[in-house]
Amino acid sequence: MADSPETINVNKFISDSGLCSRREADELIRQGKVTINGQVAALGNRVTAADEVLVNGKPIQQREQTVYLAFHKPVGITCTTDQSIEDNIIDYIGYPNRIFPVGRLDKMSEGLIFLTNDGDIVNKILRAANNHEKEYVVNVDQPVTTDFVQKMSNGVPILDTLTRKCKVVKEGPFTFRIVLTQGLNRQIRRMCEYLGFRVTRLRRVRIMHVNLGTLPVGKWRYLDAIEVKELQRKVEPSVKTADQRFAGENPPFRKKK
């Protein structure tokens, strides 16, 4: 086959399906176990998505292409995959393929949230022990004082635990910026409530290296190649877990009973 941007080596085509590695695919080709459109394949053959590739007489099923979305969630949208819930994030976005929110923002909060069909990376990101930073800009109903900033920074007792020390910076008379490495349920709101403050607006502006930037409320964009590569690099040391607890959610690939 002629080489072109639309063709890939048949060993990569097989490897991309998740069946085996490229080296193992080469061995299958050497053994005559791979056919392309009915013809026995040879090492170096190239194929397109329109070609029929069989291994041991069975068609290769290509894995769904992974997608990574950054979404500016509006207030009032619920971060759930349960489409029976009104104003759920899945129906709001209306993406044509099955995707899942990575973690959540409570209904009255807004800002950056990831959505993806990559279940492996979902589990890795959600492990609190991975220390992935999340940054928020928060408005409260009382003046932000030095004492408030210090107490928020040093940890607040909520949900039978003391929150981790974190970076808190005063942004304005009633506004502060906070960087967390935890994902406790309604953590910032509970921390503020413990200190006698009420949150009037909460907006997440960064997850790890990805910034909300100028993305309009209610809009989404694809993470670019550099962002995805860095995301994969940062979560690579993470250990997957089968029983990861979500704040109010079932794991994304487990059906509700």
pLDDT tens column, 27-59: 999 999 999 999 999 999 999 878 899 999 999
Active-site entry in 3, 87, 106, 118:
106
Burial status of residue 242 (CB atoms within 10 A of its CB: 0-12, 13-18, 19 or more)? exposed
* CB 115, CB 101: distance < 8 Å: yes
The one-letter amino acid at 15: S
Structure tokens given for 20: 């085996």
Percentage of the chain with pLDDT > 70?
A: 88
pTM of the model: 0.72
Backbone angles phi, psi at 202, to 5 degrees: -135, 125
Catalytic site residue 82?
no
Nearest to 146 by CA among 182, 166, 176: 176
Q: Chain-wide mean pLDDT for the chain?
A: 87
State how far the alpha carbon of 151 is from the alpha carbons of 24, 155, 168, 214, in Å: 57, 6, 9, 31
The pLDDT of residue 128: 55
Burial status of residue 118 (CB atoms within 10 A of its CB: 0-12, 13-18, 19 or more)? buried
pLDDT digits (tens, 9 = 90+) for 107-124: 999 999 999 988 878 877
Q: Any residues with CB less than 8 A from the CB of 133 and at least 6 apart, and which?
A: 179, 180, 181, 206, 207, 208
| pLDDT band of 129, cuts 50, 70, 90 | low
